[in-house]
Structure formats: structure tokens, C-alpha cells
């Protein structure tokens, strides 16, 4: 759950001076994020491993609330659990807040997330041109894959074969073991 705790109004010019911490900027307001649990962090790590092995030198993978610029005015920055950015989009490894839409964003739903928060986040990612958003819900053991230009999400359970990237098909159950 995101809560406003800082009344400072942030603008795009502040992007290089944002304070440390785990938060998102929504319409210029800083919204703190609840710390995740061990399972969430472990799943992020497993996604990092599998994606890094698969993409090798074709792109960059990062985890841990990676900042993604959604809009400059009003300032809107989302924090993603896992991102993949191809070298076709970024020739060099990015630094700081991503101002390029990643090819893939993975979000792992925590117990503190509300459905409207996650829907809002998905809409933001699609609006800036993220190719695929993979939403994983460990509590219900389901996942949804949203794709740029598609009106409907693909729904999966943890036993299904999931085609995440070209040539990368896996079962979520295998990531949890």
C-alpha cells in the first residue's frame, strides 16, 4: 500500500536529487511503499537469475524497486520489482531512473497491494510503451500477462507453461522450489 508521508511536491527537475528510500512519485507526491517479505525478495531474485541467463548479452536486467519515469509533468515515477531492457532500446546500461520504457516489467503482488493500485500501475506501464507486464500473485498462485496493443490479459496458474520472452518458457512453480 502506498501512503503519502512527505508534503514536498516534486517536479522533473528534482529527479537527480530525490531522497533515498522505497517509494513512488505519483503526480508530484512521494508515496512510501511497504517493505516486502522474504518470499517476495526471493522471487525477485529467481526472476533475475532466469532472465539474466536467458538474455545474456542482449540486454539488462535489474530488480529492487527500479524507478521508471511515467510522466514529467506532473512527475510520476513507478517502482518496478523486476525490469528487462533490451540493448536495442539502450546501448549502454542505464543509470538512475529509467526514462526508457522497458521491454518487460514484472510485478509481484504483496499482501499490502490493492487491486486498484496494481491496475493503475499496469495502465501507467502500458501508457509509456512497456511491451509486457507480468503480474505475479503468490497468494492465489496465479499470474497475468499484459501486452502492449492487446486488450486482454493472459491468465496463468503456477502449473502452466508461461512464455515470458521469446525462447523463454517456464512454470512459476519451478521458480518457487
Q: Is 45 exposed, middle or buried (0-12, 13-18, 19+ CB in 10 A)?
A: middle
CB 40, CB 110: distance < 8 Å: yes
21 assigned to some structural domain: no
C-alpha 127/C-alpha 125 separation (Å) is 5
DSSP bridge pairs for 9: 29
136 assigned to some structural domain: yes
CB 5, CB 30: distance < 8 Å: yes
Q: Kindly state the average pLDDT of the residues 99-121.
A: 93
| Domain boundaries, position 127 | 36-176
**How far from chain centre, in Å, is Cα 151?**
20
pLDDT above 90 (res 4): no
pLDDT band at 2 (very low <50, low <70, confident <90, very high): low
Give the number of other Cβ atoms within 10 Å of residue 121's Cβ.
23
pLDDT tens for each residue of 31-87: 998 888 898 999 999 999 999 999 999 999 999 999 999 999 999 999 999 999 999
CA-based nearest residue to 23, from 67, 70, 81? 67
C-alpha 15/C-alpha 17 separation (Å) is 5
Element (H, E) at 44: helix 38-55
96 assigned to some structural domain: yes
CA-based nearest residue to 86, from 107, 104, 70? 104
pLDDT above 70 (res 1): no
The number of distinct structural domains making up the chain is 1
157 assigned to some structural domain: yes
137 assigned to some structural domain: yes
User: DSSP character for 151?
Assistant: S
Q: Is the pTM of this model over 0.85?
A: yes
User: What is the per-residue pLDDT for 111?
Assistant: 85
> Which CATH number covers residue 72?
3.90.1570.10
65 assigned to some structural domain: yes
19 assigned to some structural domain: no
147 assigned to some structural domain: yes
Amino acid at each position: 500500500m502506498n501512503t503519502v508521508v512527505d508534503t514536498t511536491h516534486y517536479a522533473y527537475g528534482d529527479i537527480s536529487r530525490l531522497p533515498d528510500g522505497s517509494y513512488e512519485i505519483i503526480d508530484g507526491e512521494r508515496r512510501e511503499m511497504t517493505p516486502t517479505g522474504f518470499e517476495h525478495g526471493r522471487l525477485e531474485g529467481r526472476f533475475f537469475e532466469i532472465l539474466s541467463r536467458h538474455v545474456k548479452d542482449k540486454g539488462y536486467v535489474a530488480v529492487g524497486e527500479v524507478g521508471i519515469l511515467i510522466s514529467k509533468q506532473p512527475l510520476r515515477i513507478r517502482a518496478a520489482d523486476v525490469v528487462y531492457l533490451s540493448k536495442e532500446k539502450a546501448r549502454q546500461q542505464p543509470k538512475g531512473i529509467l526514462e526508457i520504457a522497458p521491454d518487460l516489467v514484472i510485478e509481484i503482488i504483496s499482501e499490502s497491494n490493492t487491486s486498484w493500485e496494481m491496475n493503475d500501475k499496469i495502465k501507467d506501464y502500458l501508457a509509456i510503451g512497456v511491451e509486457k507486464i507480468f503480474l505475479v500473485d503468490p497468494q492465489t498462485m496465479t499470474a497475468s500477462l499484459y501486452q502492449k496493443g492487446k486488450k486482454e490479459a493472459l491468465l496463468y496458474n503456477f502449473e502452466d507453461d508461461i512464455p515470458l520472452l521469446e525462447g523463454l518458457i517456464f512454470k512459476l512453480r519451478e521458480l518457487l522450489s
